[in-house]
Amino acid sequence: MPLVSIDLTLLVLTGSSFFILGAYYQHHDFLSKVHRLIQEDPYAFYIREKLYDTLQLFNPYCLDQLDGSSSRMSQIMKYGFPGLDDIRVYSDFILSYDRRNRVAHWVYEHLRAPCVKSNGNGAHRRESYYQADMSVPSNFRADLTDYRDSRFDRGHLAAAGNHKCHQTHCNETFYLTNIAPQVGKGFNRDAWNNLEIYVRDLTERYGSVYVCTGPIYKPKHQLRGVTDAEHCGKVDDKWCVEYEVIGENTVAVPTHFFKVITVESKLPGGSPYMEAYIMPNAPISSSTNIRNFLADIREIEHIAGLQFFNGLRRSFFFGTNYSTASDIYRNFV
């Protein structure tokens, strides 16, 4: 690359510091790591531009780990990055962190049958404990104290029960970056838990399931003529986003949570099946079927500001008749 060497010569000639030279080589080093990744994985080639963007955001700690974790990362992110804000790489899930809300934007997991079985290889959630993720700058970090006096559960986004193959994987789901304030009774311990169990059932049945989970702060319609001074002021038929924040770090309490689930077919060449859910962060009656919470993926994209299966035509994966929420759910055999 002659242009680059000319740049380099100029840098040296103008007496720029060795710091710049060092930065160049560090940059060069991780670009070559990306090139290797792209050679190993055709999907990485497809999303290479996104990958470059993302890798620029990695901190040096992550870069050091890139060699070991890159193939697992490209596997987990096979269907693309829903967004690129503050990407954090853990050993068995990838997360995008929302510094303003102190809760993740999304968490992506790739579930495999052996790692979701209750008699897995010995990882137990009782051996893990909740902890702040010290790699997040302190002014943007959620702390244990934020949750302590709140009425909310510390709800997992990547469920602990999805990561039973290694204790480290299970432990990492307890970082507060992967936790959000969830209503306990009727939600985290019930309806949401049922949705997690449903995802694990799919995994045991089909072997390979991708799941993206995150919070939603959903606009609410305020009806004409209703006055609510405490919240949105004098209300006259408008939409407002309203959510509680807890603790000194003002951790946001999402109004809803979503899951986007992609199930890979066992049949060779079979296309994947996808469905999405939005559930309110509220007690849900135990008689309510989770299918009532099936959602149009475009609603999630719109409210959360994310884009799923980025760069790929959905029709390629999910057929040409993907148009309404009711179309999303079809029998998958």
Ligand X SMILES: *[C@@H]1O[C@H](CO)[C@@H](O)[C@H](O)[C@H]1NC(C)=O
The site that binds ligand X (CB under 6 A) totals a number of residues, namely: 8
Return the amino acid letter for 281: N
The two structure tokens encoding residue 305:
């500001």
270: CB partners within 8 A, 6+ apart: 264
H or E, element range at 215:
strand 208-216
Binding segment for ligand X among 18-26, 126-134, 260-268, 291-299 (CB under 6 A)?
126-134
Given the complex with ligand X, which of 285 and 321 has the nearer CB atom?
321
d(CA 95, CA 135): 13
282: CB partners within 8 A, 6+ apart: 183, 186, 187
Given the complex with ligand X, which of 99 and 125 has the nearer CB atom?
125
Residue 214, classed as helix, strand or coil, is strand
Shortest distance in whole angstroms from residue 147 CB to ligand X: 18
Rg (CA), the chain: 22
Report how many helices (DSSP H) and strands (DSSP E) the chain contains, helices first.
12, 15
Q: Which of 14, 320, 324, 326 binds ligand X (CB under 6 A)?
A: 320
Shortest distance in whole angstroms from residue 164 CB to ligand X: 12
Phi-psi region of 152 (alpha: psi -120 to 50; beta: other; left: phi over 0): beta
Catalytic residue among 105, 110, 156, 169: 156
d(CA 164, CA 116): 6
185: CB partners within 8 A, 6+ apart: 283
160-219 binders of ligand X (CB under 6 A) = 167-168, 171
Given the complex with ligand X, which of 56 and 168 has the nearer CB atom?
168
d(CA 268, CA 266): 6
Given the complex with ligand X, which of 163 and 200 has the nearer CB atom?
163
Torsion of CA 34, 40, 46, 52, to 10 degrees: -10
CA diameter of the chain: 74
d(CA 225, CA 167): 55
Shortest distance in whole angstroms from residue 241 CB to ligand X: 35
The two structure tokens encoding residue 197:
């169990």
Q: Which of 321, 324, 326, 331 binds ligand X (CB under 6 A)?
A: 321
Shortest distance in whole angstroms from residue 287 CB to ligand X: 32
Q: Between 82 and 121, how does the x/- string for binding to ligand X read (CB under 6 A)?
A: ----------------------------------------
Q: Which of 54, 96, 128, 203 binds ligand X (CB under 6 A)?
A: 128
Shortest distance in whole angstroms from residue 163 CB to ligand X: 12
d(CA 187, CA 153): 10
Q: Which of 18, 19, 61, 129 binds ligand X (CB under 6 A)?
A: 129
Binding segment for ligand X among 56-64, 96-104, 127-135, 207-215 (CB under 6 A)?
127-135
Shortest distance in whole angstroms from residue 331 CB to ligand X: 14
**Residue 35 annotated among the catalytic residues of the structure:** no
Given the complex with ligand X, which of 107 and 160 has the nearer CB atom?
160
Q: Applying CB under 6 A, does 315 fall inside the site for ligand X?
A: no
Given the complex with ligand X, which of 18 and 129 has the nearer CB atom?
129
Residue 216's DSSP bridge partners are: 256
Residues taking part in catalysis? 156
Interacting residues with ligand X (CB under 6 A): 127-129, 167-168, 171, 320-321
